[in-house]
Amino acid sequence: METTGFMGGLNSILEWISRLALLNLLWIFFSLLGFIIFGFFPATAAMFAVVRKWALGEMEIPVFKTFWSSYKKEFIKGNILGSIIMLMGVVLLIDFLFLQLAAQSIQNLLLVPFYIISIIFVCMLFYIFPMFVHYEMKTFDIIKNSFFVMIYNPFATLLILVGSVGLLLLLSYAPPLLIICSGNVLALAITKPANNAFNKMNRKHQTILKNSKSNVISERGF
């Protein structure tokens, strides 16, 4: 018998809380299963795969089955992508340490460009995993296209940045909640704006293709 009214609404809320909690626990468990180094990136990709399904309206998908299927499928590719991300992060860390030890004149010259590049890197990360689970692309294409999507969608990027920082600040006041609300809520905050940015880019690309075809036809007509 289907529950309606207040109890039905309450039941739906509790059901969604349990799904979100399960997703976060799966993310943490499978990250640890791969000793974090080998598990974090495939687990993050799997988490975004589940959230993407929800964002596309597939609300009744089995969370564990969808997560596990994506984790197995993307384990190697996810770690390759993760290795490149970590390498980029290490380069930025080395640059930061160098600036800390450099003379004041060098710091004055390079500190602002360093912060700009770091912000670009962080904002680009917002699109990498949504794009990873949304398209079939080579690893370097994912990184390259994430950069272009970030550049061409400043409003969506700002929305994701503000939302993510806000959620992290809220969660910092209640550390125990990180067990059931951390990666999952960040994935939710990132996926919808990212998908909107992808759709916008797809529409723009289709328009360019149509115009190009029209130009070709006109030129041949002459």
37 three-class SS = coil
The boundaries of the domain holding residue 71 are 14-86+126-217
Side-chain half-sphere of 142: how many Cα atoms within 13 Å? 23
How many structural domains compose the chain?
Answer: 1
Report the share of the chain in percent with pLDDT over 70: 90
Q: What is the pLDDT of residues 157-185, one digit of tens each?
A: 999 999 999 998 998 888 888 888 899 99
Length of the chain: 222
**Domain-embedded: residue 44:** yes
The pLDDT of residue 219: 35
Instruction: Name the average pLDDT for the chain.
Output: 88
In contact, 146 and 7? CB cutoff 8 Å: no
**Domain-embedded: residue 177:** yes
Q: What is the pLDDT of residues 119-147, one digit of tens each?
A: 999 999 999 999 999 999 999 999 999 99
Q: What is the mean pLDDT of residues 53-72?
A: 94
**Domain-embedded: residue 100:** no
Q: What is the pLDDT of residues 16-46, one digit of tens each?
A: 889 999 999 999 999 998 878 899 999 999 9
**Domain-embedded: residue 109:** no
User: Quick one: pLDDT band at residue 3, thresholds 50, 70, 90?
Assistant: low
Dihedral sign (CA 207, 208, 213, 214): positive
**Could you tell me which of 134, 166, 141, 127 has the C-alpha nearest to residue 50?**
134
**Domain-embedded: residue 163:** yes
The neighbour count for residue 58, using CB atoms within 10 Å, is: 11
In contact, 68 and 59? CB cutoff 8 Å: no
Instruction: Kindly state the greatest CA–CA separation across the chain.
Output: 73
**Domain-embedded: residue 117:** no
In contact, 117 and 184? CB cutoff 8 Å: no
**Domain-embedded: residue 55:** yes
**Domain-embedded: residue 103:** no
